[in-house]
Structures are given as structure tokens and as C-alpha cells.
Structure 1
């Protein structure tokens, strides 16, 4: 295979670092960028890393930086995005960026739709995808309707999660009773539109994800699924301990759905299996590389490299077979989740230890590129200590 085109990665979280490492193994030159705080933690020795303007507040400056970079390189680089902010930025500026970079995204209208929780749930319902009971509260009548139809506890979620988390670093807020709902709704509504949603019962291992890679013509190039074992924070968080697992029932749900809406490029949908009725309930869609994508490589389907090969016109063969049972571990988050669950007597040290057995991929830990792991671990532990002091 030819690797004449370099790659540009926008994101230096564990997601972006995973992309960098996958490409560097193939000998591909990588440039990586993120805003200052993320850059300080995630910069990798395997890429040329630097600080970039904020994609939300400095759009023109970021566009200029990327165009100048591409012009200095020569051949169009392959462009990767590891967060919603960057995928929205690329999509909004796709006409100009496509002159200088290689990338594949669905229509901008679809990206806006799936990143908006309200529109995403409406889209799922339109296509007969089972979803949790969800209420958008825009006035007093909507609030009363939600109260009348929801049981407590429930959750309060931002409609635009990637914007909400710039102010409040939470995916969702657990609501235990009506008084808390009224108080927290007033507190958090200033940071963006909110929805109220029922809690689907079940442990972390009831969460599943399906990931796809469709080409320009909506031909399926890659297919992968996984199951969560643990997430961080333990109640409502992102993956901390994941395992590759083929889930054919979810393929039957997702593939027709993705094809009907035209989710070309990289896409991922998350579901939670409801133990009350055994039905997979829709949680969200991401039109980009997702946090745990580095699990695909040891599981036999290298999404990052396939994307590169396709965009550089090297005609990769579709891959649908995956190796099951491979674990993905975000070490510091797995440890902090263990501490939380041990307090509640939901997890023992033996359970924690067994989580390391078998074939595994670490989110950040690497002897070949240790600093992102060290800096991220220190940051997580300091934040956990500060949170404990508040409590």
C-alpha cells in the first residue's frame, strides 16, 4: 500500500491519540491539533502536534491554519475528526476544505440532525427505532406532561451535548424526585436546551454500539459492534472497559436505518438493551470516529486505516468479520469506576483484576508513546481528588 498522503487529526483526546497511533504504525506522517488544554494533555511523540484555534469561536482562524498547512504539504492530507466540534467545523466548511483535504462525511443537514438529541430521537422514531420515553420541555405545559408520564428517577440531558459540556462536564444529570427536577432544570437550562428522559434499567453491560463505514455510494465497507462492561462516571459516562462483541440483532436494526438516512463515512450508534422487554433502545448517533475505535484494529477491522486507504483511492476490500472478546481499557477511568462501584458493593478487586485478562487494547497506555497516558492519568486523579473534597 502507498502512504504518500499524510494525515491531519483534529483532536488530542484518547480518540485522536488512537487515530495517531493507528496511522503511525503504518508509517504515515501525522499532524495533530487541538485547543490548548487538550493539547497539553494529549500531545503525542508519534505526530507533529500543535495548538489550534477553537472550532466554535475561532472558525476562520482554524480554517486559515488548515489551508496553510495543506498548501505547505503539497498532496492533499486525509482529514480526521475526533469530536463533535471538529466534525461540525469540517462539515460547515466542507466546500473550501475539500479543495485541500480528503474526507468523507454525510450531508451537513444529517450531521446537524444526529448531533441534536431532540432531532435524533425524532429521526429514530420516524424510522421505527425503539427509544426511551423522551420529553422536550419548552413551556409549562410540556413540563406538566413530562411529570405526568415519567417515573422517578429519570435523567435530564442537553439537546446539544457537545456545546453543553463546554460549561458543564456531564452527559446527563440524575434526577431522583420532582423537587430536584424543578431545581436542576432551572439551574442547567441557561447552558442550553434540555430534555427529560426515562432511565432504561440495567447495568453498564446493557449498552451496545454498532459502527459502520459506508463509502460515497453507501456501499458498506466495514461493520463492527461492541458491548460496554464499565463506563466513567459509573452512572452516565463514556467507555472505561469495553469488549468486542458481534450483535447480529443490532445489525438488523442499524444497517437499514443508516442506509435510509444516508450515514456515509464513519458512523456509530449506541443502544441500551432494556431488561424489561429485551428491546434495544436508541441512545445516540455519532457521525465520526468514536472514543473506543482503537478496539477495531486488534479485533481485525482497522477503521482508521481503511478510511485512509479508501480516501487515497487504494480500494480496500470490505471487512465484516470481527474477533470477539478483545477488551479496550481506559486504565485510569476503569480504576476510578472500580472505586465508585466498590463503595456500592457492585464490584470487587477480583472483578477488577479479571478485567485485565485476555487480549486487550489500552486507550492511552503505551510504552512507545507514554506521555498522553501519564498526563491524562494525573489530570483524572487530580479532578477526582477535587471532586471528593467537595463532597
Structure 2
């Protein structure tokens, strides 16, 4: 395996059998990615599987410049980027009768002023392309409770020419989020298809699933098929929906067109996801998919401890509830006894950063200066008991 990794994921390069290097952001240095991909093509080519929105967007935009010896799900037809763009996705949903939150798309201050009086709070702000908003705000989706909050976030996005959506806040906590993870073949078949739902995520309510469980989700699977079949999509996708806490109705939230962070559920629940993903991309024939076993969990320990800390400190969950929620965990992300180096590498980086921060703070105190304020890797509003009821209804 050849891995082109972001700096934040450099620990993955220590994995057994992996070769590769740290790459710059493809939006800032497209040529470096073209050179790296052409080098891989010259060495024999192979299958390219994207693990980030930025990578999938780049491959879609540059597919025609890549050699034929490189096989990708992404193509130059624009389908991947259309589903990735939440505005285009919600328009498509409206056209085919799929329920989605109401929305306003904002790309200029003029458009923002035009809908100012129509916006009700709380609402949800989403980057049309979430990864672009995340690079600026630290998150792609966030709850907005007032006009002042909206204007602060909007200014930061619009100054960087990043369009965003204001959408309806669908009542229900994060456990109401369901997902259909699929691989759709060129002929419209589904070599891989399973359901899951979130038990916890980081940041809370609007983040990546830190503890995810396999679950039967027929409504979400049907909604996902309806959309993918309509546009003739080919590749891996993760469709997320939310069930309205009051009415029980299912709302489309988003479709990710790359391997989801919780893909370990595919191994935990017995559907042989990794092989079926690769084989479809490589054009290898597959037999019937093994049956999904519900209630099997996948945990991402590096963010699960953050999610647990937030939920327990806000008294939203007890430690007893946390421990019970871990039952059934079969996959632990990069933590593996068979291949421990990535986890040890990541832990070493975390420890070095912590030691460096403590040393810097001590040095500032010795010099009689206040310690510099630090910013967490994923900026998020702190959850307090007073804010908890509001957040849990998001």
C-alpha cells in the first residue's frame, strides 16, 4: 500500500506494509499531488481510494490528467463533487422527493443581508463543502444560536470565499443519526451495503463518530439507494440521516463520497468491507455479501476520550453509561495488537505536544507572564450543564 498522508495523519505511515510520504494540502499544491500520482502510475499503477473530502475533490477535478493505470471511483463527470456539495445535494433531494432540512445558501454578504429577517434561531450552519469551512472555522457544521454568532462565522467564511448553508435544526440527539455505508458498482449493483448509527461523536452533536455501532436502518438504506441510483454514482459513499425526535420522520443530512472514519464497523459487523471496497475498485468479481451483525461497535480512541470527557463533564452521561456503551466494541481504529506502531506513533506525538505545552507555560510563568492561550486541534464551544439541554436537541 502506498499512502499519501496529511501531516495530521503521519503516524499512519508507520503501519506494517505501508509506504508513502506526508503531502501538502492538495488545494495549495496541486502539482505535488500530480507528481506523486504519476510516479505511482509509472511504478505499475493501481487502485486509488480516497479517505478525505479534499483528496476526493482533487481527484475528481484532476481525473483527466491522471494516467489510465490509476483506477479511481472519482471521474470527470462531476457526480462526486455534486453529492459532496450540500447545496447541490439538497437541491437534488428536493427534485426526487427526498426529505431534507430547509436551507438558505449564502455566498456573499448581499445574500446574507437578503435573508437576515427570515432566519430563525437556533439553526445550523454548514459549509457547502464542509472540509473548506473546517479549514477556516475548525468545524464544517455548527449550531448557531444568535445573529451575532452567525455574523462572526459568516464573515470568516465569506472573506475566504467559502459558501455556506443555513439549515433547519432537526430535533434529536446524536444517537438519532443513522448511516448507510455502501459501495455501488458501475452496473448499479451494491457489492457492499450496511447500516450504522452514532453512539458518540466529537465534537459533540456535529462531528465525527467516535463510537459507532452497526444497526439495521432500512429507511436510510432506501433513501441512499434512491439518490445514488438517480445520479448513476459509482464508488464508496456514506449517507447520513437524522430521525426527527418529535415526528420520527427521516431527514437527509449529507452524503460523504470517501471512506468514512468509522469504516471499521464494516469489519466489526462481519460484512468484509475492506476487501469488498478494494475488489470493486479493482474490478474483481465478488460473491454475495456476508450478513450484517447488528450491535457491533467501532471506536476511534483518539477522539472518543474527548467525546467522553465532554459528555461526562457536562453530566450528560455517567461513567457507568460510558462503560456500558463500550460493550460490543470489536474495532479500535488504529489501535491494533497486530500492528501497534501507528497507535504508538500517534501517542508519542500527543505526549510530545503535551510536554511542550506544559514546558512553555512553565517558562512563561517563570518570566512573570501569563501563559499563552492554547487552541484545541478541533475548536468547539465548551459544553456546560446550562448549555447541555440546548445542545442535545440539535
CA spacing shift, 1:66–1:140, aligned 2, 3 Å: closer
Residue 170 of structure 1 and its aligned partner are, at CA, apart by 0.9
CA spacing shift, 1:287–1:107, aligned 2, 3 Å: farther
CA spacing shift, 1:134–1:248, aligned 2, 3 Å: same
Q: Which deviates more from structure 2 when the two are superposed, residues 174-183 or residues 83-92?
A: 174-183
- Counterpart residue number, 1:63: 34
Residue 64 of structure 1 and its aligned partner are, at CA, apart by 2.0
Residue 115 of structure 1 and its aligned partner are, at CA, apart by 1.7
CA spacing shift, 1:155–1:331, aligned 2, 3 Å: same
RMSD over aligned CA atoms reads 2.6
Contact 1:155 1:172 in 2 (8 A): yes
- Counterpart residue number, 1:326: 296
1:191-270 matched pairs, under 5 angstroms: 191=160, 192-270=162-240
CA spacing shift, 1:354–1:211, aligned 2, 3 Å: same
TM-score by length of 1: 0.83
Contact 2:64 2:76 in 1 (8 A): no
* CA distance in 2: counterparts of 1:91 and 1:139, whole angstroms: 26
Residue 166 of structure 1 and its aligned partner are, at CA, apart by 2.4
Given candidates 53, 57, 69, the residue that maps to 1:100 is 69
- Counterpart residue number, 2:307: 337
1:267-306 matched pairs, under 5 angstroms: 267-306=237-276
- Cα deviation digits, residues 252-275 of structure 1 (max 9, x gap): 222122101112111221111111
* CA distance in 1: counterparts of 2:278 and 2:154, whole angstroms: 44
Given candidates 93, 97, 106, the residue that maps to 1:124 is 93
- Counterpart residue number, 1:85: 54
1:154 corresponds to 2:123? yes
Residue 207 of structure 1 and its aligned partner are, at CA, apart by 0.5
CA spacing shift, 1:207–1:182, aligned 2, 3 Å: same
1:34 corresponds to 2:36? no
* CA distance in 1: counterparts of 2:125 and 2:282, whole angstroms: 43
* CA distance in 1: counterparts of 2:108 and 2:32, whole angstroms: 39
CA spacing shift, 1:184–1:55, aligned 2, 3 Å: closer
* CA distance in 2: counterparts of 1:41 and 1:313, whole angstroms: 30
TM-score by length of 2: 0.83
- Counterpart residue number, 2:140: 171
- What are structure 1's unaligned runs of at least 5 residues? 1-29
What SS does structure 1 have at the residue aligned with 2:308?
Answer: helix
Q: Which deviates more from structure 2 when the two are superposed, residues 241-250 or residues 149-158?
A: 149-158
* CA distance in 2: counterparts of 1:337 and 1:378, whole angstroms: 21
1:110 corresponds to 2:79? yes
Residue 210 of structure 1 and its aligned partner are, at CA, apart by 0.6
What SS does structure 2 have at the residue aligned with 1:230?
Answer: strand
Q: Which deviates more from structure 2 when the two are superposed, residues 130-139 or residues 329-338?
A: 130-139
Contact 1:331 1:363 in 2 (8 A): yes
* Number of residue equivalences: 358
Residue 60 of structure 1 and its aligned partner are, at CA, apart by 2.5
